[in-house]
Chain A
Amino acid sequence: MLRVCLKGANAAARKCLCERAGHPLQHCRRYTSAGDSGSVAGKIVAASLLTVGGGLGGTILYAKWDPKFRANVEKNVPYSDQLFGMTLGPPPPPVVPLPKKPAKVEPLQISTLSEASKESKQPKVKEKVKAKEKEAPVEPAPVAEETPAPPPQSLEAEECKECAHESAPALQERPVEEVTARLAEQDKAEQDTLASLTAGLDDTLGSSAKLTLQAIGAQEAALAAIATHTQKLKEAMDSESPPDRKSSQWRVLEEALSERNRAVDNAAEALLKAKGELEKLKGVINSAKESKIDTARPQILAAEENLHSMIVDLDKVATKVQTAQSEAKIVSQYSDLVNEAKAQFQKELESIAPEIQANWRGLTGKLSMDDLNSLIAHAHRRIDQLNRELAEQRVREQIHVEKALEQQKLEDQKALEQALATALEHNREEMRLEQERKVQEVRDVMEAEMRTQLRRQAAAHTDHLRDVLKVQEQELREEAQQVLGSKLLEQETHFRKLSQEQLDAFTLDMNAAHARLKGIEEAIDSHVVAEEEARKAHQLWLSVEALNYSLNTAGADAPTEPLEDAVRTIKEKCAENEFAQALTLALPEESLTRGVFSEASLRARFYGIRQLARRVALIDETRNSLYQYFLSYLQSVLLFEREQEAPPAKLAPEDLDTFKLLAYATYSIEHGDLELAAKFVNQLRGESRRVAQDWLKEARLTLETKQVVSLLSAYANAVGLGTTQAP
């Protein structure tokens, strides 16, 4: 279409151009038409070729760009699809909308996955999940089947999802039995590990608890020992008891000290052991955590809590012990200092008054004045010294105190930090434990919820199953009924067929016998009938012969006698012969009343008619003046022809001439064929026909009668022949 348009446009453009160029071109053309015509024709050819090529190329390019246009052209223009196929390649396939199933399935997947991951404890539910997934489409099914396999190993939902997403692309559906077996195995394994874990946990817990208690006891003992020791020390230092009691005190003190040391060592040992055990417990807990069995979780949690509390207690007791120790250290330091001061004083005293005995407090009565004076002087000096020292000491004390304060501050700080750290640790640990507890609670709640949902799902599933089963049952029942019905029908038809066959055979036999009987009867009857018929035929024949005879009574120019009598005879005698009756009815009235002419008379008359017909041959409806009469008479006189002429098998239009017809008729009548002659005479037209009408009528009558009579006689003969029985 495009090409046509382009061509038209081109032609129009050219015409336009030519018109615009107009007259000069015409003139030119006239002068140079001869020479230029070739180039003009060439130009025209080139232009048309260019147009066609351009049109084709444009169409092909556009079709390449727009597939719809291509389809359109292919539909409308024949063989264009072949051209496009050659140049552009096969047409692009129609765009199919992508299925939305994966997107729809994904949320289902995740939800089922999360549900499945959360609910992994009870195998029953897992099986239900499996069964449910079996009915679901194939995609979620293998995924869901795969994910119950990983969840027993992975507790966290996030990991589950990752697993699912990772395993989703490469899935294979496992058979139910294998999956259940695997699940059973996994469950068993899980149970085993759980059992072992719990056992381990319990053991370690027990041992650590024991050790911790021991440690705590030891610590407390140490604490008590330290306290007693300190107390004793204080007592020993403060009290002014007599020497023997002092020594006993000191002894007691030493004992207490040794006791304290031992207790402290014990405590330290126990602490170490307990700490070691706690570490072990921690290790076991961690391993238990790593084994990642949900069921152990509360136990693990409890163990952790225990561990934590144990650690806390241990720490507390340790700190107590430490404080006690530090107090004891202070006290001991103080006692040491005091002892030192005492020793020093003693030494000084000894240096000053060597004779003074160590235990100078009981010797107040033995002293002299010198000794006393020296003693007092020494005492004064000592007092001064001491005062100075005191002053110094006071000064230093400030510094010391400040230093000590600072140190104390530092130590306090450190202790604070440590305490803070430990407290923080403890807090953190507590928070963690609480969080874990909360998590556990939430998990429990979620599990419970999921269980209810799953229960609901299971209920829905059972309902659906029930419905499906019902439908299936219905269908199967119907099918069975149908089959039964068809089989029954088959059997019935078979039975019926057999019975029918039997009946038919019997009927056939009966019919045969009946037929034979009938045949015999008929034969007898027919014999009778035949005889009757023979008689009748005879009658008929006689009557027809009579009729025939009456036909022959025709004179030369007179008709036969009326055939009425003969016909009446026939009618009477052969009243039951319908054919004869009909035929008798077919006889023309004229023949009955007046009789018919014989063939000979008709033949004789014919010549007169012939003459007359020849004379009025020219007269017809249109040309019938007297002059025509004269002319036709003249024609008949002057026309020479054969009197008789054999008629052809077929009449041609030129044979319908009066003279020819009359010649044929004469020939026929001479050869005895009145019928043919009558036919020919019937073909006459105009006045000739009118003239021959009479004769024709007579001829017809005769022919009819003869026909009927011949029929009758033939019939009578036939009947007679029929009834005669061959010997």
Chain B
Amino acid sequence: MADEHGRKWDRCFADSAVKTVTGLGVGIVLSVLFFKRRTWPIAFSSGMGFGMAYSNCQHDFRSPYLLHGHMVKDQ
């Protein structure tokens, strides 16, 4: 389990790095292509990328505690 924890963190970091950079890249591309070289798409998409990574990471860490409920319909 301890290893799992470490592995999660590794994944987290890797994922966040990838996503942020990807976001950055997409932002740059977008800003260059569509948004007249403004800064905000870059920040936006990198933020989006980091956010996605964060969310993924959080989900990953939460995953053991998540309860999946099933709705039972009365028949």
Chain A interface residues (CB < 8 Å from chain B): 608-609, 612, 616, 619, 621, 624-626, 629, 687, 690-695
- A and B contact pairs by CB, cutoff 8 A, 18 listed: A609-B2, A616-B5, A621-B65, A624-B58, A624-B61, A624-B65, A626-B54, A626-B57, A626-B58, A626-B61, A629-B61, A687-B5, A690-B64, A691-B2, A692-B2, A693-B1, A695-B1, A695-B2
| Cα–Cα, bound, A612→B8 (Å) | 13
Query: Please, which residues of chain A bring their CB within 8 A of the CB of B2?
Result: 608-609, 612, 691-692, 694-695
Query: Please, which residues of chain A bring their CB within 8 A of the CB of B1?
Result: 690-695
Closest chain B residue, CB of each to CB of A621: B65
| Cα–Cα, bound, A619→B62 (Å) | 10
Q: A624-B65, A626-B61 are known; give 15 further A-B pairs, CB within 8 A.
A: A608-B2, A609-B2, A612-B2, A616-B5, A624-B61, A626-B58, A629-B61, A687-B5, A690-B64, A691-B5, A692-B1, A693-B1, A694-B1, A695-B1, A695-B2
B3→A694 contact, CB < 8 A: yes
Q: Least Cβ distance of B37 to chain A in Å?
A: 33
Query: Please, which residues of chain B bring their CB within 8 A of the CB of A695?
Result: 1-2
Determine chain A's interface SS by DSSP, over half rule: helix
Q: Which 9 A-B pairs have the closest CB atoms?
A: A693-B1, A694-B1, A621-B65, A626-B58, A691-B1, A624-B62, A612-B2, A691-B2, A691-B5
Q: Least Cβ distance of A665 to chain B in Å?
A: 15
B3→A625 contact, CB < 8 A: no
Q: Least Cβ distance of A695 to chain B in Å?
A: 7
Query: Please, which residues of chain B bring their CB within 8 A of the CB of A687?
Result: 5
Give the size of the chain B interface in residues (CB under 8 angstroms). 11
Query: Please, which residues of chain B bring their CB within 8 A of the CB of A624?
Result: 58, 61-62, 65
Q: Least Cβ distance of B13 to chain A in Å?
A: 12
Chain B CB count within 10 A is highest, among A624, A626, A687, A690, for A626
Determine chain B's interface SS by DSSP, over half rule: helix
| Cα–Cα, bound, A624→B65 (Å) | 9
Query: Please, which residues of chain A bring their CB within 8 A of the CB of B65?
Result: 621, 624
Total A-B pairs, Cβ < 8 A: 33
| Cα–Cα, bound, A692→B1 (Å) | 6
| Cα–Cα, bound, A626→B2 (Å) | 17
Query: Please, which residues of chain A bring their CB within 8 A of the CB of B57?
Result: 626
Query: Please, which residues of chain B bring their CB within 8 A of the CB of A608?
Result: 2
Q: Least Cβ distance of A273 to chain B in Å?
A: 151
Chain B CB count within 10 A is highest, among A690, A692, A693, A695, for A690
| Cα–Cα, bound, A332→B74 (Å) | 170
| Cα–Cα, bound, A681→B25 (Å) | 46
B58→A625 contact, CB < 8 A: yes
Q: Least Cβ distance of B75 to chain A in Å?
A: 32
Interface string of B27-67 (1 = CB under 8 A from A): 00000000000000000000000000010011001101100
Q: Least Cβ distance of A610 to chain B in Å?
A: 10
| Cα–Cα, bound, A694→B6 (Å) | 13
Query: Please, which residues of chain B bring their CB within 8 A of the CB of A626?
Result: 54, 57-58, 61
Closest chain B residue, CB of each to CB of A629: B61
| Cα–Cα, bound, A690→B5 (Å) | 9
Closest chain B residue, CB of each to CB of A627: B58
Closest chain B residue, CB of each to CB of A689: B1
Closest chain A residue, CB of each to CB of B60: A626
| Cα–Cα, bound, A608→B61 (Å) | 20
Q: Least Cβ distance of A662 to chain B in Å?
A: 14
| Cα–Cα, bound, A629→B2 (Å) | 15
Q: Least Cβ distance of B31 to chain A in Å?
A: 28
Closest chain B residue, CB of each to CB of A625: B58
Closest chain B residue, CB of each to CB of A615: B5
Query: Please, which residues of chain B bring their CB within 8 A of the CB of A625?
Result: 58, 62
| Cα–Cα, bound, A427→B47 (Å) | 175
Query: Please, which residues of chain B bring their CB within 8 A of the CB of A629?
Result: 61
Query: Please, which residues of chain A bring their CB within 8 A of the CB of B61?
Result: 619, 624, 626, 629
Query: Please, which residues of chain B bring their CB within 8 A of the CB of A609?
Result: 2
A612→B58 contact, CB < 8 A: no
Query: Please, which residues of chain A bring their CB within 8 A of the CB of B58?
Result: 624-626
Query: Please, which residues of chain B bring their CB within 8 A of the CB of A692?
Result: 1-2
A612→B54 contact, CB < 8 A: no
Q: Least Cβ distance of B4 to chain A in Å?
A: 8
Closest chain A residue, CB of each to CB of B9: A629
Query: Please, which residues of chain A bring their CB within 8 A of the CB of B5?
Result: 612, 616, 687, 690-691
| Cα–Cα, bound, A609→B64 (Å) | 19
Closest chain A residue, CB of each to CB of B55: A626
| Cα–Cα, bound, A694→B5 (Å) | 11
| Cα–Cα, bound, A14→B43 (Å) | 93
